[in-house]
Structure 1
Amino acid sequence: MKPKKVPGIPSQVKGGFHDTESIQKIQDSQEIDLKFNILKEKFFDINKWGNYCKETPTEFTLCDSSGETVQRLPQIGDYIKILLTKINNPKPEDYQWVQIDMIDKSNPDRLMIQCRPSKLPGNNFAGKTVHFYAAGSSSTFVISKGKDYIKMAIYGRNESPNKNTGFLNSIKNTFIALGGMAGSSKIQWQCLADGMIGAK
């Protein structure tokens, strides 16, 4: 199976990939516009993403360039910290960190947010990537509408284990990343996409 060629999505060069899509068919054009506007509100409220997938509880938190939690629309250069499992009093290193490097609103019918694994915020010149995937990986979140549907998609590209870390973390990241490339992250992303789109 080959990755889809989707405009705006990085080319697949090496490692794993996934194409996760959820589509809701709608016949009435006014209903399409209404539901797409609701989807846009969900899409840009990253702090609430975790509410849309109860089966695989994951916490998403939007942070500014210094790593402080913010309650606003995302901006290029912001970070998203992701907690995959419930931890009491988690430290910054317990999260998976990604940075938003692209937000595309040029087409009102197709909106995109792209993220890449990152270092901890506030230190651009030192430190190591704090994510189980290597820095060359990407996740692109896309919502769109057509004449009879609304859709949310998540496209993962070039997903390789992050080995640029300590020995034990390198082993841990390899196991987590291999699990993700084998399908567990696809299940998680599918749950999020279905939950946001309202698919059953």
Structure 2
Amino acid sequence: MNDEKNLIPPQQTGRATDFSEEKKYPSKAEAHAGFKKTADKFLNINQWHEYSGAGSAIFTLCNNQGEPASGYAAKGALMSIELPVPGSDAGKGLEWVMIEDMDAHSDARAPEEFIAMIVRPCPEPHETRTEIAHFYQDISTSTFIVKRSGKVVSAAVHGRNETPNNANVDLHDKVRNTLVALSARVGLAGPQWKKLVKGLLAH
């Protein structure tokens, strides 16, 4: 895959969101070093809360069985997300997503280099139930991209097809998911992603 934007699914329904931040370096060599540092932070999901600061969601990297894991993000792994709002029944208080795909291209001599990851809501891994454990339906995706273009390094989050998960869940989750999704729609999710992309670039 030559273009990181190929990882962003087409917008078909619901809402689309885009949050990005960039940092310019004095030289291409320094930008490459900055890209490598930012990519390292990006892959270290267990530290995202620290990069985002107080009041932000807590992200935990998990294996495909839902057990907390150390190390870097990888395709097929799961992430649990503890939001600063009441949790769902389906997720036992957490939101769950799967890392559906990843791609990367790193070359200090190239005009551009990137690392990208797409995540999608999924069921709670410890349960046999198939309800999606997230306030968005599983048609929704978030694509995270760290990129260097020339002397500029950027970090971005692209949400696509963001649709409230208010079908095939219990009454509590139907009300809760609708309210959380509506809160995200009116702008309460923006600060979380803005703080994350700024935090990834801060070094």
Distance in structure 2 (CA, Å) of the matches to 1:86 and 1:69: 21
Residue among 166, 173, 177 paired with 1:169: 173
% identity of equivalent residues: 29
Say if 2:143 is the partner of 1:140. yes
Q: Which moved more, 1:51-60 or 1:62-71?
A: 51-60
Give the superposed CA RMSD.
Answer: 1.9
Q: Deviations over 1:170-199 (max 9, x none)?
A: 011001001112211122101110111129
Maintained 8 Å contact 2:114/2:148? yes
Distance in structure 2 (CA, Å) of the matches to 1:97 and 1:50: 16
Q: Deviations over 1:100-154 (max 9, x none)?
A: 100112x22111111000101155x633111000110000000000112000000
Return structure 1 stretches of 4+ with deviation > 3 angstroms.
none
Maintained 8 Å contact 2:135/2:165? yes
Secondary structure of 1:7's counterpart equals helix
> Quick one: which amino acid aligns to residue 175 of structure 2?
I
Maintained 8 Å contact 1:27/1:149? no
> Quick one: which amino acid aligns to residue 120 of structure 1?
E
Shift of 1:56: 3.1
For 2:71, the equivalent position in structure 1 comes to 72
Secondary structure of 1:30's counterpart equals helix
Distance in structure 2 (CA, Å) of the matches to 1:53 and 1:43: 12
Calculate the TM-score normalised by the size of structure 1: 0.88
Report 1:3-42 matches (<5 A): 6-42=5-41
Unaligned runs of 5+ in 2: 107-112
Q: Deviations over 1:32-76 (max 9, x none)?
A: 111111111101111001111114322110000111111122222
Maintained 8 Å contact 1:67/1:122? yes
Distance in structure 2 (CA, Å) of the matches to 1:86 and 1:132: 11
Residue among 105, 125, 129 paired with 1:126: 129
For 2:110, the equivalent position in structure 1 comes to none
Secondary structure of 1:94's counterpart equals coil
Maintained 8 Å contact 1:55/1:191? no
Maintained 8 Å contact 2:14/2:162? yes
Distance in structure 2 (CA, Å) of the matches to 1:64 and 1:80: 8
Distance in structure 1 (CA, Å) of the matches to 2:29 and 2:149: 12
Distance in structure 2 (CA, Å) of the matches to 1:85 and 1:176: 11
Distance in structure 2 (CA, Å) of the matches to 1:166 and 1:86: 18
Count residues with an aligned counterpart. 189
Maintained 8 Å contact 1:57/1:85? yes
Distance in structure 2 (CA, Å) of the matches to 1:8 and 1:59: 25
Shift of 1:159: 0.4
For 2:162, the equivalent position in structure 1 comes to 159
> Quick one: which amino acid aligns to residue 110 of structure 1?
F
